[in-house]
Amino acid sequence: MRPLADNVYAVGVQHWDRRLFDELVPLPHGTSYNAYLVKGSEKTALLDTVDPEKTELLIGHLLKAGADKIDYIISHHAEQDHSGSIPDMLLMYPDAKVVTNPKCAKMLVEHLHIEMDQIIQIEEGQTLSLGDKTLEFIYTPWVHWPETMSTWLAEDKILFPCDFFGSHLATGNLFVTDEARTLEGAKRYYGEIMMPFRSSIRGNLKKLEPLDIQMIAPSHGPVWNKPGVIIDAYAEWVDESVVVNKVVVPYVSMHESTEKMVEYLVEALIERNIGVQQFNLPVSDLGEMVIELVDAATVILGSPTVLVGAHPSAVYCAALMNALRPKTKYAGIIGSFGWGSKMVEQLTSLMGNLKAEMFEPVLARGAATEEGYTALDELADNILQKHRELGIAQ
Ligand code: FEO
């Protein structure tokens, strides 16, 4: 239990050793489930809860904060890492009402079997008075579910945006102390679940512009007491025109033929002063790859041919990129085959959501020969030319 402002307390928990979220998202630094207690002169509100497996810690923090009564449980988002302890909270505080928007209310009923008569449904822009503190509800959907909203605590100028602006990071620090580390956690989180919805996020950012935000208290990671840092970062990430002179090269190789092609291409890109990040798919943290995909101008996927198609690791990567829809402008496929290959057609069809222009693929029969390496040099030249046209390369 730690104070953010007068009568505003952080009562959430850290999950230091969680290493995977949604059985998909790698969490090398754990995560946190932030919940906040706002005590007004007349009413008390709990903003979000925690993942159900950490309910006991939440209860301990509430007791330490002297929360002998809670009138409202504000639910910003129905996903269980924030809503999962609501049923226990309703048992502990039987007079409390859950406050949320109609979409989220429906989901809370469906996912947690909360009774509709335990929920007060609010509309966009509606306010809820706690006495000397006022909560205003702002719809900020699609960060990554359609029902997510934020709360604006006007008297203290604190925004509670739930997942939005959050970072998967377990830390003992209430506020951001290491901006670079927190930004990386936020970029990882944005890339892994929010990136496909960036047009909605642009709208959400616009909606927040009139607010004089002094503090952003998200539901994951430390509190931003310099909110401009994370707002500016998001503004760049969601801007379709902001890409970096960088090539992401995820690949898999069975007998080094594809790996040698990848290494040759990476050297060729470095010689042309193009930033590059190489990821050996079976052993890499794919979250790091996603961080790079947030703003890379180009991605080149490398795969050998196995059972006539692409290697399953490359298939997974293509499907993941297709789901995350990065703003990557150019893409390509390189790799090898023994006697025949359908992998280019297969991978191309799997990446249909990418709006990227495709380079001519470079495939080698067996280990690449001089002809193959010449084609890779040409690919590096083409990438440089395209990056120059974007105004991001010399
Ligand atoms: Fe942190 Fe979408 O839940």
61 lines ligand 1 (CB under 6 A): no
Q: Cα 217 to chain center, whole Å?
A: 16
187 lines ligand 1 (CB under 6 A): no
220 lines ligand 1 (CB under 6 A): yes
**199 Cβ contact partners less than 8 Å away, ≥ 6 residues apart:** 238
Q: Cα 294 to chain center, whole Å?
A: 10
Closest CA relative to residue 12, chosen from 193, 166, 196, 190: 166
CB 73 within 8 A of CB 86: yes
For the stretch 59-62, contacts whose Cβ atoms lie closer than 8 Å and that sit 24 or more positions apart, written own/partner, are 59/88, 59/92, 61/1, 61/9, 61/11, 61/12, 61/13, 61/35, 62/1, 62/11, 62/37, 62/92
79 lines ligand 1 (CB under 6 A): yes
Q: Which residue has the tokens 């291409």?
A: 265
82 lines ligand 1 (CB under 6 A): yes
For ligand 1, the distance from its centroid to the CA atom of residue 58, given in whole angstroms, is 17
Cα separation, 183 vs 190, in Å, equals 10
Residue ID of nearest Cα to ligand 1 atom 2: 79
CA-to-CA separations, 273 to 111, 243, 267, 289, in angstroms, rounded: 51, 16, 10, 20
Cα separation, 197 vs 113, in Å, equals 28
CA-to-CA separations, 283 to 14, 251, 304, 313, 319, in angstroms, rounded: 27, 10, 16, 10, 18
CA-to-CA separations, 372 to 190, 334, 336, in angstroms, rounded: 37, 10, 10
81 lines ligand 1 (CB under 6 A): yes
Q: Which residue has the tokens 């959907």?
A: 141
One digit per residue, pLDDT tens: the chain, 394 residues? Answer: 789 999 999 999 999 999 988 888 889 999 999 999 999 999 999 999 999 999 999 999 999 999 999 999 999 999 999 999 999 999 999 999 999 999 999 999 999 999 999 999 999 999 999 999 999 999 999 999 999 999 999 999 999 999 999 999 999 999 999 999 999 999 999 999 999 999 999 999 999 999 999 999 999 999 999 999 999 999 999 999 999 999 999 999 999 999 999 999 999 999 999 999 999 999 999 999 999 999 999 999 999 999 999 999 999 999 999 999 999 999 999 999 999 999 999 999 999 999 999 999 999 999 999 999 999 999 999 999 999 999 999 9
**165 Cβ contact partners less than 8 Å away, ≥ 6 residues apart:** 186, 216, 218, 224, 230, 231, 234
Cα separation, 172 vs 178, in Å, equals 12
